[in-house]
Structure 1
């Protein structure tokens, strides 16, 4: 994580300070403008690398910066009444506004003088960026209202210089420490997001990357699965699913140079080994939704910087009446908003829980969005596991009876620091019965519980990396090898034993309210402690005061403490 690289953290702090002193004091505005610059830089680097790889392998490649670009407002539009001559004249006029794409590269404009650079980026590079995937693309649609608002030439020059320095440090870190460049970039992006002042309001917390990887390893998405996150934010879970799948494909193809990262996960972000058909399938099956237009843009650029050329991220409220999808997805990975609420009149009528609490509605909605046989990995506040309110109980009943509730993994309260200290858990469930089906047999037979006590990082606001992986890798191993016949026997939680299974009948017993809290089922250890007799303890205290001395001489000592200890010894006999 970034905390372990003070040089990189210092550079990012410098970048924030420059934006602050340069007149952009709103953190959300700053992160959006910084992301545009990071995207411009990364776009140029990826394009140049693909060009070099294509030349080395003698393969065709068309650069995004090859040829000319016509701004949309100057493009010729043919009317039905146009004669051939009139149309040709329009095309000739259009050429006057053509811009050489090669001049739009980061590596080209960064050498310009300050005033020229600002004008060039504002009037040419940024409009080109907005139009990058063509007028009909999802990216272009959501970038339509995006604005480049860096106000001063000096600020742009300093920002470009600092970002170049950040990339140099990231590349050095990647080579020296063996960490994937995309993961270091993810750390940088995560740190930038942590600076958003509004983070934590309405329960919107950034999910740590290692928790996303944990969920992916538990759910195990595969190529061809239709995958969604109904509250995707900056797209972390979609990226996590994407990287898991391409890593799995790389392993099956015989890749041998993959090494575990600092959290024990093996990942690659390089999709070059995929066939064009597999890449198209993978990109078409990732879907994200969010109600914040800025986060949608950040999510789109985040995925594009990681190789997803045309992400399917849209501005939608998936809890509202206007969102009509149902039984659409094979996999859902999400960390929906905690503790928020929605106007009752806006709630989708297909949601049955009588509540306005978003943490409950999102989980029910995820169940509704899954296809039969589809699996979800969802981060929830631990209150969902045990609260006695009617809507809480009804939701747990859905999870246990209509779904196969495979696992409940409780997380320590510090996992989401510095955003919040809320205690959370991961739910893993597979949809068995549809929303309109009559349940003839409850779907859950046993549920696996694991009490995570360490995630490999300190649980304070600093979240410093600690030695080892914490419980992360054990959770994955134990989950995929769980056995109802043996794992139901021992429910004593200790440093070496943190999991067990509970049969559905116990969870759904009449007096239990479908309680899913681990503490409800674990067995406490009561140790018998033997204490020394009082006279032995008193003799030790007296000896500590006076040293070795005959009993007959003790009464001659005038020390107040010794005298009182002797009186106490006489009282107890």
Structure 2
């Protein structure tokens, strides 16, 4: 969480943009991201230079090589494009370097033909004056960005300021929920991971962090490293700004060439080629699309305009057999009575393997929405396999469930993960417990309803009350005492 002085520093940066004439919050986020990205590139090279100096070696594949950028008319040296250099220039010169040299170089930074190069083609520097650039640079200098967790918290806080968040069913996913979903599905070094509605790449960043922590053997094999830096990560987003931010975010986290494309995953030509092994996503929901724009292949499976149902079908198509998914859905998907709702649930349960329904508290996505949501965990089999479904009722996620979402001690998420990792012990749990299994046939008999309350049993505690006669006798005794007291009081006043 960003609190205290750090929060005030970030607010100062935000306020500087607004007072400087940039009022579009998406544009503010994008410009800040560019500057933080440029700063981070310089930090990475400084680390590489110190390491090389210790061992008396040359820096391998430097971001800022020696010499000049021949594509720029003034032949500025690459050194001038470094944050640690141009931020020491006078305002007018710094503005000229950033606008005329750094940004053209930034647009060409990615490998030719890479998704980064395609996304950054339209990157534009829109800070209007040297004075505003100088003020923003000075403020960013004061913000500590070395620690990865702090950097993530800062970025999350800035994203929370997006006034457009929550429109068209698009909500940011809190990092602790993302981490839970990644931990539940445990990415593997050979996985092909996709997020068809990537936003700022929160799920992909969490997946790469999981792999770094749990699979250090990745770096011992050239083939595994190449897989990690290339085909392992794929993502789509219909918003060009989000695709650019996601590309920079992944590159900042050390993934050199992921595939992040600006595209509507639900449209014709969608990426439903059944080759991925893991889907991690929180797709847009509570929105409707024009059926003319939706892929005909998806409409053959489910006739609907609801994005949450279309994305679920798309994700099933994306996975190869044996592939798994962790997906956030609005609670209406679990019990909706339309033909499309029932068809999607039937598809998951009968044709594939629905593993778990994890109900989240209704305030999980505040301040954007109070809609109740759930995490679905499923495995694509194309041959069924759902024998039973594990349900968990998350009542607390470590944060208050109001608009402020401040940390608290109550937190069921560690228990969710611990129980998921030891499901055999769950067979002894009762329907009155916080988690339990439900057999497939019972779900089928209930019209494929997946709402937790359909199967949970409420334990009624018996309370023994006193008899009415005893209570009336006590009231009579009290009445006598009151009358005696009033009589004595009148005698005292006489």
Alpha-carbon deviations, 1:67-88, whole Å to 9, x = none? 234364x6xxxxxxxxxxxxxx
Answering whether residue 114 of structure 2 is matched by residue 137 of structure 1, we say yes
Q: Aligned with 1:413: secondary structure?
A: coil
The 2-side partners of 1:365 and 1:488 are apart by 35
**CA distance in 1: counterparts of 2:134 and 2:451, whole angstroms:** 54
2:133 to 145, 156, 159: 156
Q: CA deviation at 1:98?
A: 2.7
Deviations 1:276-331 (A, max 9, x none): 54322112210000000000001011111111122210011111112253212000
Return the alpha-carbon distance in structure 2 between the equivalents of residues 10 and 187 of structure 1. 14
Partner SS, residue 329 of structure 2 = strand
- Give SS of 2:211's match: helix
**1:519 and 1:59 mapped to 2: Cα distance?**
64
Q: Which residue of 1 aligns with 2:407?
A: 465
Measured in 1, the distance between the counterparts of 2:186 and 2:474 equals 61
How far the C-alpha of 1:137 sits from its partner, in A, is 2.9
Match of 1:281 in 2: 227
Query: How does 1:100-499 map onto structure 2 within 5 Å?
Result: 100-167=77-144, 170-171=145-146, 181-250=147-216, 275-284=221-230, 285-351=232-298, 352-433=301-382, 442-467=384-409, 470-483=411-424, 487=427, 490-493=430-433, 498-499=434-435
Distance in 2, Cα, partners of 1:315 & 1:516: 33
**Superposition deviation, residue 419 in structure 1:** 1.4
Q: Shift of the alpha carbon at 1:113?
A: 0.9
Question: Pick from 447, 450, 456: which aligns with 1:513?
Answer: 447
**Is 1:533 the equivalent of 2:467?**
yes
Residues 359-389 of structure 1 show CA distances to partners (whole Å, capped at 9, x for unaligned) of 0000010001100000000011011001111
Measure the CA separation in 2 of the matches of 1:504 and 1:313. 37
For residue 68 of structure 1, give the secondary structure of its aligned residue in structure 2.
Answer: coil
Deviation, 1:154, is 1.1
| SS in structure 1 of the partner of residue 409 of structure 2 | coil
Larger Rg: 1
Native 8 Å contact 1:229 1:237 kept in 2: yes
Q: CA deviation at 1:236?
A: 0.7
The 3-state SS of whatever aligns with 2:465 is coil
| Bigger mean CA deviation after superposition, 421-430 or 182-191 | 182-191
**Partner Cα distance (2:108, 2:428) in 1:** 57
Q: Describe the SS at the equivalent of 1:379.
A: strand
* Matched-pair contact (CA < 8 Å) for 1:182–1:306: no
* SS of residue matched to 1:408: strand
Q: Distance in 2 between matches of 1:103 and 1:414?
A: 48
Given that residues 139 and 300 in structure 1 are in contact (C-alpha distance below 8 angstroms), is that contact kept between their aligned partners in structure 2?
yes
Cα distance per residue 1:240-281 (max 9 Å; x no partner): 11111111113xx6xxxxxxxxxxxxxxxxx9x565543221
Asked if 1:27 is matched to 2:25, the reply is: yes
Contact persistence 1:68–1:98 (CA under 8 A): no
Q: Secondary structure at the match of 2:296?
A: coil
The answer (yes or no) to whether the contact 2:271–2:318 under 8 Å persists in 1 is no
Native 8 Å contact 1:487 1:500 kept in 2 = yes
- Cα distance in 1 for partners of 2:304, 2:396 equals 33
Distance 1:212 1:108 in 2: 37
Equivalent-residue separation in structure 1 for 2:419 and 2:458 (angstroms): 21
CA distance in 2, matches of 1:117, 1:214: 43
Closer, same or farther: CA 326–418 of 1 in aligned 2, 3 Å: same
Higher mean alpha-carbon deviation, 520-529 vs 422-431, is at: 520-529
Q: Separation in 1 of the partners of 2:227 and 2:112?
A: 22
Query: How far off its partner does 1:55 sit?
Result: 3.1
Contact 2:352 2:380 in 1 (8 A): yes
Unaligned runs of at least 5 residues, structure 1: 75-95, 172-180, 254-270, 434-438, 560-573
How far has the Cα of 1:526 moved from its partner?
A: 1.4
Give the paired residue count: 483
Q: Aligned-pair distance for 1:62?
A: 3.2
Secondary structure at 2:9's aligned position in 1? helix
Give the 3-state SS of the residue equivalent to 1:289 in structure 2.
strand
Distance 1:274 1:340 in 2: 45
Runs of 5+ in structure 2 lacking a partner?
A: 488-494
| Cα distance per residue 1:183-230 (max 9 Å; x no partner) | 211111111111111100011111111111100111111111111001
Change (3 A) 1:528 1:139: same
- Whole-Å Cα distance in 1 between the matches of residues 303 and 286 of structure 2? 16
In the other structure, the counterpart of 2:16 is 18
Distance 1:423 1:159 in 2: 39
Alpha-carbon separation, structure 1, partners of 2:412 and 2:56: 46
